[in-house]
Amino acid sequence: MAVFVDLNISHTVDKKRLQNIIETAAHLGYSTVAINHVVDLQQKKQEIGKPKCVSELFDQFPIVQGKSRPIKVLNRLTLVVSEASHFRPTNEFKSYDVVAVFPKTEKLFHAACMSFDVDIICIAVTEKQPFYFKRPPVNGAIDRGVFFEISYVPAIKDSTMRRYTISNSLSLMETCKGKNVIVSSGAEKPLELRGPYDIANLGLLFGLSEGDAKAAVSTNCRAVLLHGETRKTALGIIHTMKKIEPTAERREEEEAPVLKRARTEAV
């Protein structure tokens, strides 16, 4: 049995509801979920705050259906960008496990695919896609290991959204041929979540083949998480951590430039 992941659970201030959603996700069989913090960079004075520690959410995380392990909760940041100058990789990114970008224009989509240091590129599902997906940026994204995300909750809620979701995802599948696609929820209520096998089947409507649809909720999501982990580490090889003891801080400072050097060399 595969490990299922849902990388998009909307963050709400309401702690009770968030707990409810995560419990439902565990019941449905998701092993890992990511809480999504959306930041719209177009609006002024939007700060990328540090995410709340997930361990505050539960005393004891619910056990996943069919497994004996508790559910894993991660933090995810989604940046809505409409101008290229808005996207600036900052230190705050490092406190999130996964970083996604939602490009509004074709130029930004190209830039997101080719150069932005992100894990996920969101595809519009609530409106008609304002541009066509061109082959070169999509292929570039696939080569870099960046994934495209389709969220299904708007499709469940409303009939017109369903049309947009299906038509946009079909036009994406024409270019990417089912590779590097993940399907996630974007749920705000517990009843909006669907089981992983249902989603794998729903992928057929989105133009994915059977194998790709199942990969979209399991293996591809795992690849996203690993890609996100490489941001915190130097190419996934070296990982530096801050020690709690004050004496260890000096050593930490010495180590930091080494990490930087390793990164720049690799780039």
Partner 1 sequence: MVRFKSRYLLCELCVSDQSSLQLLDDRAVFTGVRGAVCRAHGDYGAALCSVSFAVKYLNADTGVVFLRCRKSHYRILWSALPFITHLENRGQKVPCAFNCLYVGGTIRTCQKFLIRYNIQQLHRMLPHCHNEAERLEVRRAVLNCSLKSLEKEEEEDE
Q: Which is nearer to partner 1, 191 or 226 (CB)?
A: 191
CA 147 to chain centre: 9
Q: Which is nearer to partner 1, 138 or 208 (CB)?
A: 208
Integer CA distances (angstroms), 174 to 106, 134, 165, in order: 17, 10, 14
Q: Does 2 bind partner 1 (CB under 8 A)?
A: no
Q: Which is nearer to partner 1, 16 or 242 (CB)?
A: 16
Q: How far apart are the first and last CA of the chain?
A: 37
Q: Does 17 bind partner 1 (CB under 8 A)?
A: no
Q: Does 198 bind partner 1 (CB under 8 A)?
A: yes
The single residue among 18, 71, 199, 215 that binds partner 1, judged by CB under 8 A, is 199
Taking the C-alpha atoms of 186, 192, 195 and 201 in order, what is their torsion angle to the nearest 10 degrees?
-80
Q: Does 154 bind partner 1 (CB under 8 A)?
A: no
The Cα angle at residue 138 between residues 135 and 139, in degrees rounded to 5: 80
Per-residue burial over 45-61, b if 16 or more Cβ lie within 10 Å, else e, is eeebeebeebeeebeeb
The single residue among 38, 129, 195, 259 that binds partner 1, judged by CB under 8 A, is 195
By the 10 Å C-beta count (0-12 exposed, 13-18 middle, 19+ buried), 160 is classed as: exposed
The single residue among 6, 149, 192, 212 that binds partner 1, judged by CB under 8 A, is 192
Q: Does 143 bind partner 1 (CB under 8 A)?
A: no
Q: Residues interacting with partner 1, by CB under 8 A?
A: 24, 27-28, 63, 65-66, 152, 155-157, 159, 162, 190-195, 197-199, 201-202, 204-205
